[in-house]
Amino acid sequence: MTRHSAIALAVAVTFSAAAARADVDLIARYAVPGTATDLSGLTAPLENGVSGNLLGGFGSAIAYTGSGAVFIALADRGPNAKPYNPLVDDTTSYIDRFHTFDLSLTPAAPGSAPTFVLSPQLISTTLLSSATPLTYGSGAAGTDAARSLGSGVPPLNAATGTYYFTARSDGFDPVRPSAYAGNARLDPEAVRVANDGASVFISDEYGPHVYQFDRATGKRIRAYALPDYYAVDVQSATGDNEIKSSTEGRITNRGMEGLAITPDGKTLIGLMQNPLRQDDGVKGTRNRIVTIDVATGVCHEYVYPLSSSQNGTSEILAVNSHVILVDERDTKEGEAAAFKKLFRIDLDGATDVTGMRRLPADGVIAVSKTLFLDLLDPKFGLHNAAFPQKIEGLAFGPELVTGGRVRHTLFVTSDNDFLPDQPSWIYVFAIDRADLPDFQSQVFSTRSSGSTP
């Protein structure tokens, strides 16, 4: 790729006023009930009384495995919408996990809309763990005169002789940086499948981190080091304290939100939800993209220009080695939702800002950016009271034939925050090849095609 150097003299952002592509159609949608349960077998209640096997939050990320209609869906840090202890932000010792789904599509009856029927089937639930010890919360951070909280070590640790990653916000070593790989707390937000199908890459908001896990066992294989200025100065079990105390690093709960993998499987591309604190944080519009060489771990950084400081970015999906789709959205839901768009960006021509702890006021060329798809376009009929706030998962699936032509499929998922009264939505769009002329499918090996979840 050609990159401009950091001495570029202008900020150049290309926007397009074009509406959604004329040849993109919504062909299927499905609402997974918020009361559904997963296959973890963890039926014991968590600290807040919610069952440990609630199938929620899995719309945080979705990735195609390269085999049939099999996808990986990633649950985030578990149910914390039910108040029980604000000293740990109502988080629990929910064990982090990903799910394997079959998302088969079949043609609907003639004249039906949408034109395909999506039939999700949960195949398996895989718990995330470490082969080496992790630092869990003692409970002290969640204790005062009115509240008490026990150890954050999952009981399953002793039963299986392993160390599981959990959601609880006090699971960190206070004398180490937030990017320390020995912290038990993990808030997974994005997942991609390695080209051999044997492992998955997962990004996290707490660190932020990018980890590689064995797909069959859920054990961590590798931790990738991000630039040290992505970590916060001061860790805390409560987001408010962390925000007040830190002067550098990711904004609490707005860390490494998106992750892509290039078609050749050699490069990961991570995207922060909001600018780093030193780059104006939630008031800023210059967000960071990090590329990671899978083999060496070498990182490079670029700037993504948010359309508004009121927005955040929730996912990133590779079209080829340098062209990427970015999910940028507001925090509104239902009929109040106003900004739920996918942008096409290109890393080529952008300034490489690697090593810049703080972005300079000028001299940086951001990635080029054009509108690709507006999910609120009236043609899709989605902008209604049921439209979810958190559109967070993007994945290209297998191609299919509609209207006599071969088309790409794009799977889009929502995160329901584990709320039992809110479904997790799965939308499927069909895209003409002409609308993505430079699209390259991820190259999965024979091993991937024949692997089992």
Q: What is the pLDDT of residues 228-271, one digit of tens each?
A: 999 998 999 999 999 888 989 999 888 899 999 999 999 999 99
Cα–Cα distance, 270 to 257 (Å, whole number): 8
**pLDDT (0 to 100) of residue 253:** 85
Cα–Cα distance, 411 to 106 (Å, whole number): 15
Spatial neighbors of 446 by CB under 8 A, at least 6 apart, are: none
**pLDDT (0 to 100) of residue 446:** 60
**Phi-psi map region of 66: left, alpha, beta (phi>0 left; psi -120 to 50 alpha):** left
Q: What is the pLDDT of residues 43-74, one digit of tens each?
A: 999 999 999 999 999 999 999 999 999 999 99
pLDDT at 19 over 80: no
Looking at per-residue pLDDT, the higher value among 35 and 447 belongs to 35
Residue-by-residue DSSP string for 404-445? TEEEEEEEEEE--TT-TTSPEEEEEEEEEGGGSTT-------
Kindly report the CA angle at 384 between 382 and 390, in degrees rounded to 5?
A: 70
CB 95 within 8 A of CB 49: no
**pLDDT (0 to 100) of residue 23:** 83
CB 197 within 8 A of CB 65: yes
pLDDT averaged over every residue in the chain = 92
**pLDDT (0 to 100) of residue 404:** 87
How many Cβ atoms from other residues are within 10 Å of residue 84's Cβ? 17
pLDDT at 187 over 70: yes
Pull the structure tokens for residue 238. 């409560």
**Cα–Cα distances in angstroms (integers) from residue 130 to residues 42, 92, 181, 218, 223, in the given order:** 18, 18, 10, 8, 11
**pLDDT (0 to 100) of residue 21:** 54
In 112-249, the DSSP E strands lie at: 116-127, 129-130, 163-164, 188-193, 199-204, 209-214, 220-224
Residue that has been written with the tokens 């799910």 in this structure:
99
Residue that has been written with the tokens 């010792």 in this structure:
93
pLDDT at 14 over 50: no
pLDDT at 12 over 70: no
CB 260 within 8 A of CB 287: no
Q: What is the pLDDT of residues 312-345, one digit of tens each?
A: 999 999 999 999 999 999 999 999 999 999 999 9
Task: For residue 82, count CB atoms less than 10 angstroms from its CB and return exposed for 0-12, middle for 13-18, buried for 19 or more.
Answer: middle
pLDDT at 7 over 50: no
**pLDDT (0 to 100) of residue 9:** 28
Q: What is the pLDDT of residues 124-146, one digit of tens each?
A: 999 999 999 999 999 998 888 78
Q: pLDDT class for 8, splitting at 50, 70, 90?
A: very low
Task: For residue 18, count CB atoms less than 10 angstroms from its CB and return exposed for 0-12, middle for 13-18, buried for 19 or more.
Answer: exposed
Task: Give residue 224's Cα distance to chain centre.
Answer: 16
Spatial neighbors of 204 by CB under 8 A, at least 6 apart, are: 186, 187, 188, 189, 210, 211, 255, 256
HSE on the CB side for 133, CA within 13 Å? 4
Backbone phi and psi for residue 201, each to the nearest 5 degrees, phi listed first: -105, 135
Pull the structure tokens for residue 333. 């839901």
Cα–Cα distance, 43 to 107 (Å, whole number): 36
**pLDDT (0 to 100) of residue 452:** 38
Q: What is the pLDDT of residues 288-311, one digit of tens each?
A: 999 999 999 999 999 999 999 999
The domain spans of the chain are: 24-450
Spatial neighbors of 316 by CB under 8 A, at least 6 apart, are: 190, 258, 259, 260, 269, 270, 271, 289, 324, 325, 326, 327, 394
Pull the structure tokens for residue 146. 């009115």
Pull the structure tokens for residue 86. 């604000």
**pLDDT (0 to 100) of residue 197:** 96
Q: pLDDT class for 22, splitting at 50, 70, 90?
A: low
Q: How far apart are the first and last CA of the chain?
A: 35
Cα–Cα distance, 287 to 120 (Å, whole number): 34
